Structure 1
Amino acid sequence: MLDHTLDSFDGITLELEKFRGTDDQLLTELCAVIALSRINLKRLIWVTLQGSLTRFISVFLDYGFIFHNCQGSTAVLVLKLQDSAYIPFSPTHTIGVGGFVLSEGELLCVKGHSASSNLKLPGGTVDRGEKIVDEVIREVYEETGITCKFSSVLGFATKSPVQFGYTDMYFVCELLALDRDISVKDTVEIKQAQWIDIDCYLNGDHSSPFNQQVVQMSLKKLGLAPVNQESYADPIAKQEIFWASA
């Protein structure tokens, strides 16, 4: 029978990393696992197929498995054994960050290469597995050369659907500039970076109404600061907690 482990939600996860059999052998052992799982009132069967194991996808689809999510060369499939079983949805959002950096009455802004690009907050999309704090500091440095210290999350906006039908979440974070010497590192994405007088930015025509409103709302606001919470600690997963100041 196929190697498998039990989870805390009355489901099982198939472990195929050591399987070296044929399609027919897989089919026989899969039937046995499904039958035993039904007898034991299991709710879901999960399987992750990566690399060469993806050749078995058709076998699992023929037995009622459906795709849950795909990433690169890895496909995760799931079989519902009970009608009432809940299948958690796969990740459906992307996270973007913008750095609100105000120094000596001037706002740090960037502009892309396209003709329609206007002055906006430096930032980008949070990479998989990266913290918001680390990402926004890195993005601002790559796009402007300015080293910053994280202060707080000032606010966020969501939009759905966007690319691939996902929900986009955009977090605006206040950063404190540790220097003012601009030196664009990411010249592929960024055409120029500059400090601009805050009143000029808010009243000029070189920025979009959305970006102007974001900056206006960010002025003199107290955001959510990062805090340490021992009860939320995890030896494997990365965590972030932002909370309102007293």
Structure 2
Amino acid sequence: MNTSIEFIANFKTSLDPYNGITIEKEDLPKDIIEFEKNLQILIDEVKDKRNLIWIYIDIKNSDFIPISTKYGFTFHSCNKNYLLLVKVLKQNAIVPTLANHTLGVGAIVINSKKEILLIKENIRNEYYKLPGGHIDDAEMISQALSREVFEETGVVVEFEKIVSLGHFYPHQFHKSNLYVLCLAKPKSLKIDIKDKEEISEAIWLKLDEMFDRNDIHQYTKTIVKSAISQGGLEKNETSILSHLKNEFELFFVKEK
């Protein structure tokens, strides 16, 4: 039976779609001498049949990093606990790019009194703006939306639809930023700011007044105007991709 898991030079490796093999950080030897010895053998055994070797190195084994770079591995990506290195074995091998953008979410929240929920930040406080913030790792768009609005205003909301996408470059860490603007339904009304270090004020403001005020940016007004007059991408609740093991959200234009 064919399998994508193979033990080579005492390493547990898995095959990827780019004809590369990956070694997870928990499958590395504890001894640095053993690591270097096995790494040499691994490279010799796969250099003629594989395109790439990927190695995740835990921060606790950071002394493995100079050994890896000595044998031609380069940095690919990282988080606070690990570094991913890659060695290219074949010329013109496809090396998937690392994440080249951050993700943000913003919320247009309008209550039954035709009031919109707005916040003002402590630092960038020239304008009132829509509540929102970064989408965390492994977090769904709708989850991030509810979390960010609650942290910044104390208001509980429910995702309705995506109404706008913004793409900005440069942003943090020399990456792009993709900003997902969503319409959300308020499930509560009381304002109780949780993140007081970031947010100085949260208010319900009459929609008509919002469009006339100078302390609300034209970008915000344009997004809100679009949200209340146009359609959007609604969350699809069907099981069309239920065979996938990973989490996902799908958004489609609502059928007429």
- What's the CA shift string for 1:49-96, capped at 9, x where partnerless? 003221110111111111010110300000000012101011111111
Return the alpha-carbon distance in structure 2 between the equivalents of residues 206 and 239 of structure 1.
37
How many residues matched? Answer: 244
State whether residues 32 and 64 of structure 2, in contact with CA within 8 Å, keep that contact through their aligned partners in structure 1.
Answer: no
Is 1:19 the counterpart of 2:29 in the alignment?
Answer: yes
Q: Give the secondary-structure state (helix, strand or coil) at the position aligned to 1:57.
A: helix
Aligned pair in 2 of structure 1 residues 194, 15: CA closer, same or farther (>3 Å)? closer
Return the alpha-carbon distance in structure 2 between the equivalents of residues 113 and 90 of structure 1.
33
TM-score, with length taken from structure 1: 0.92
> What residue is the counterpart of 2:70 in the other structure?
62
- What's the CA shift string for 1:150-194, capped at 9, x where partnerless? 111111110122111111011111111123222222212111111
Aligned amino acid, residue 32 of structure 2: T
Q: How far has the Cα of 1:241 moved from its partner?
A: 0.3
Aligned pair in 2 of structure 1 residues 81, 95: CA closer, same or farther (>3 Å)? same
Instruction: Show structure 2 runs of 5+ residues with no match.
Output: 1-8
Is 1:211 the counterpart of 2:220 in the alignment?
Answer: yes
Q: Give the secondary-structure state (helix, strand or coil) at the position aligned to 1:169.
A: strand
TM-score, with length taken from structure 2: 0.89
State whether residues 2 and 14 of structure 1, in contact with CA within 8 Å, keep that contact through their aligned partners in structure 2.
Answer: no
> What residue is the counterpart of 1:102 in the other structure?
110
Quick one: percent identity of the two aligned structures? 27
> What residue is the counterpart of 2:156 in the other structure?
147
> What residue is the counterpart of 1:85 in the other structure?
93
> What residue is the counterpart of 2:229 in the other structure?
220
- What's the CA shift string for 1:121-171, capped at 9, x where partnerless? 111111111111011111112211212221111111101221111110111
Return the alpha-carbon distance in structure 2 between the equivalents of residues 119 and 192 of structure 1.
9
Q: How far has the Cα of 1:222 moved from its partner?
A: 1.6
> What residue is the counterpart of 1:76 in the other structure?
84
Q: Give the secondary-structure state (helix, strand or coil) at the position aligned to 1:130.
A: coil
> What residue is the counterpart of 2:140 in the other structure?
131
Instruction: Show structure 1 runs of 5+ residues with no match.
Output: none
CA RMSD of aligned residues (A): 1.7
Q: How far has the Cα of 1:5 moved from its partner?
A: 1.6
Q: How far has the Cα of 1:115 moved from its partner?
A: 6.5
Aligned pair in 2 of structure 1 residues 113, 16: CA closer, same or farther (>3 Å)? closer
State whether residues 229 and 241 of structure 1, in contact with CA within 8 Å, keep that contact through their aligned partners in structure 2.
Answer: no
Is 1:169 the counterpart of 2:170 in the alignment?
Answer: no
Which of the numbers 194, 202, 205 marks the counterpart of 1:193? 202
